Copies of this chain bind each other. A is one copy, B any other.
Amino acid sequence: MAGRNHLYVPGPTNIPTEIMNAMNVDMEDHRSPIFPNLVKPLLQDLKKIFRTETGQAFIFPATGTAGWEIALTNMLNPGDKVLIYRFGQFGHLWMQMAKRLGLDVECHEIEWGKGIPVDDLEARLKADTDHQIKAVLATHNETATGVTSDIAGTRKAMDAAKHPALLFVDGVSSIASIDFRMDEWGIDAAISGSQKGFMLPAGGAFLAFSQKALKAAETATFPRCFLDLQDHITTNKDGYTPYTPSTPILHGLRKSLDILLAEGMENVYARHHRLAEGTRRAIAAWGLKLCAHPGFESDTVSAVVVPADKDARDVISTAFNKYNISLGGGLSEVAGKVFRIGHMGNMNDVSMLGAIAGVEMALLDNGIDITPGAGVAAAIEYYRSTAL
C-alpha cells in the first residue's frame, strides 16, 4: 500500500526525524570515563519533565509495565494494602499486577469514562484510621477510555484525610504531554515510558521517586534484582548503570529532552490541549460521544463511542485496511464500543485533520450516519481561531 501509515494509536507515537537520527549511534563502551557525560545530565533534565526538584529520576531499559512493578516492589512490602480505583484497562492491569505480586488490593469499581472520585477517596482514607493503606495507585491518564483523573485533587483528598499513604501515579500517557507536577502534587512515584510523550520507541521506563518513596525503598522486602532501585542509585551516582543500558534510548532521550525543554512544558501541555480540543469538536460535530464523561476528557487520547448497533472494530479495520490509518481499539469492557484517536507527541493541526478526515471515511463506510466533512469543518474552525 503506497504512502505512509498514518499512526494515531495512543502510543507508540510518531518519532521526529531528529530523534530518530539521534538514536542512530555507533555502539559505545558504557563503562568508559566519558559515559557519565551522557547519563548525569539526562537524569537531571528528566526531573524537569516530571516537575520535581526534590525527587530522583531513573531510567530502566524496560517498559512502562516494568515501571509499575518497580514502584510496587521497591516501595511496598508483600501483603501491604493498596487502594486503587478501576475505571479502565490500564488501571485494571496495574491492579492485577498488584494482586499477582501479593499485595492486599482494595479495588473500587468506577464507571468506565470517569476517573478517580476524589471525595470518595477522602472519605475512604479518613475511615482508614489505623493507616492500613500504604499506597494509593492513581492512573493519571487512562489510555483505554481517554480519561484524565485529577491528581491535584487526589493529593488534596489525601491531605484532607491526613493520610500518610504513598501516592503512586501512572503517568505513562500523561507525563511529557499533559499537566503533571510531581512536587506540587506530592507524588511519591511517577511512572512513565519512552513511547508516548517522549516520542521515542518503547524500551525505556522513565521514573521519578520522592524522598519519602526512596526512604521506603530502603527497607522493602520484595525479591527483585533487574527492577531494583538501589542498584541504580548506587551506580547512577557516578553516571553509570547497573547493567548494560540501551544507548539508542539514552541518546534519543537526550534529544527528546532538548526538544521538550526548548518548547517549555507549559507550551507542550497547551499544544496537546489544543490538538485534543479540535479533535473533540470534530467528534461532537459527528454527533458522537466520548467515552470520557465531561470533566474527564484526556488531552492525549480520545475514545469515541460508536452507536450501539455498530462495532467499533469494523471502523478500526476499515481505517487500517482501506486507508492505512492506525487507530486504537477498545480494550476489555469497551471492546467494540469505542475506537481511539491518539493526539499525543509529534503532532500538529494538519496531522489531526488527516486523522479526522480519515475517520470520517471509515465511519461512513460502516454506515454510521455523519455529515461528510462536518468533523473536519468543526476542527478547522477551532484550529484556525486558536493557532498562535
Q: Which residues of A contact B (CB under 8 A)?
A: 1-7, 9, 11-17, 20-33, 61-66, 68-69, 73, 78, 97, 100-102, 193, 195, 201-203, 222-228, 242-249, 263, 271, 317, 320-326, 328-329, 346-351, 353-358, 360-361, 364-365, 371-381, 383-384, 387
Shortest CB-to-CB span from A143 to chain B, Å, is 11
Find out whether the CB atom of A29 lies under 8 angstroms from the CB atom of B7. yes
Q: Could you say which of B324, B374, B387 contacts A348, with CB atoms under 8 Å apart?
A: B324
Contacts of A355 in B (CB 8 A): 350
Q: Max chain B CB contacts within 10 Å: which of A202, A320, A323?
A: A202
Contacts of A372 in B (CB 8 A): 373, 376-377, 380-381
Contacts of A64 in B (CB 8 A): 243-244
Contacts of A320 in B (CB 8 A): 29, 32-33
Find out whether the CB atom of A349 lies under 8 angstroms from the CB atom of B323. yes
Task: Check A361/B383 contact, CB under 8 A, given A26-B5, A62-B62.
Answer: yes
Contacts of A13 in B (CB 8 A): 27
Shortest CB-to-CB span from A11 to chain B, Å, is 7
Q: Max chain B CB contacts within 10 Å: which of A21, A23, A357?
A: A357
Task: Check A226/B27 contact, CB under 8 A, given A248-B248, A361-B383.
Answer: no
Find out whether the CB atom of B12 lies under 8 angstroms from the CB atom of A203. no
Task: Check A69/B350 contact, CB under 8 A, given A61-B203, A246-B203, A326-B28.
Answer: no
Contacts of A100 in B (CB 8 A): 223-225, 228
Task: Check A323/B387 contact, CB under 8 A, given A61-B202, A247-B12, A374-B373.
Answer: yes
Q: Could you say which of B63, B326, B360 contacts A61, with CB atoms under 8 Å apart?
A: B63
Give the number of copies in the complex.
4
CA distance A348 to B387 in the complex (A): 26
CA distance A109 to B325 in the complex (A): 46
Shortest CB-to-CB span from A387 to chain B, Å, is 5
Q: Could you say which of B317, B322, B384 contacts A387, with CB atoms under 8 Å apart?
A: B322
Task: Check A12/B244 contact, CB under 8 A, given A201-B27, A387-B322.
Answer: yes
Find out whether the CB atom of B202 lies under 8 angstroms from the CB atom of A244. yes
CA distance A22 to B327 in the complex (A): 25
Contacts of A202 in B (CB 8 A): 61, 244-247
Shortest CB-to-CB span from A174 to chain B, Å, is 16
CA distance A383 to B78 in the complex (A): 57
Shortest CB-to-CB span from A300 to chain B, Å, is 14
Find out whether the CB atom of A5 lies under 8 angstroms from the CB atom of B20. no
CA distance A26 to B22 in the complex (A): 14
Contacts of A347 in B (CB 8 A): 2-3
Residue of B nearest to A30 (CB): B12
Find out whether the CB atom of B222 lies under 8 angstroms from the CB atom of A351. no
CA distance A249 to B194 in the complex (A): 14
CA distance A263 to B63 in the complex (A): 33
Find out whether the CB atom of A225 lies under 8 angstroms from the CB atom of B101. yes
Find out whether the CB atom of B14 lies under 8 angstroms from the CB atom of A4. yes
Find out whether the CB atom of A226 lies under 8 angstroms from the CB atom of B357. no
Find out whether the CB atom of B27 lies under 8 angstroms from the CB atom of A7. yes
Task: Check A380/B353 contact, CB under 8 A, given A226-B65, A244-B193.
Answer: no
Residue of B nearest to A226 (CB): B66
Shortest CB-to-CB span from A165 to chain B, Å, is 21
CA distance A65 to B242 in the complex (A): 9
Shortest CB-to-CB span from A103 to chain B, Å, is 9
CA distance A94 to B195 in the complex (A): 30
Residue of B nearest to A103 (CB): B223
